[in-house]
Structure 1
Amino acid sequence: MKSTFKEYDVVIATQTLSERIKKGTKGVILLILDAENGVYEAEFVDSLEVTLGVITVDAMSIEHA
């Protein structure tokens, strides 16, 4: 799988990822961990831009905002 996201791309969670990061939560790609397999580190924020968490996600869990 080729990397479909770049660092600093704004993304939306396509599923609930944690207790605080629900489907539809906005985030940003911080780091590409494994471009070949589509694994990223992303920061997710609430409506006030307060960080909810920084987690590892795969390309199937996010989409471009």
Structure 2
Amino acid sequence: ASFNLPGSFASTAAVQGLPLAVIGACLGHKDPRSTGRYAHLAPQESHHVADHVADIYLARRSA
């Protein structure tokens, strides 16, 4: 399998919560669809992000 540096960068940045617009700017993308193709998440990463977002909403509700 070949290594895809832009894809790896975009996926890692997306998992860390960076907005796609920021990731796209770092990669020099003018079209957000280009970034979306690179910033795919593995299933376990998707669950981690969903849990993180849920924690944020729960914290806001209890504040």
- Normalised by the length of structure 1, the TM-score is 0.25
Counting strand residues as a fraction of each chain, which structure ranks higher?
1
Counting helix residues as a fraction of each chain, which structure ranks higher?
2
- Normalised by the length of structure 2, the TM-score is 0.26
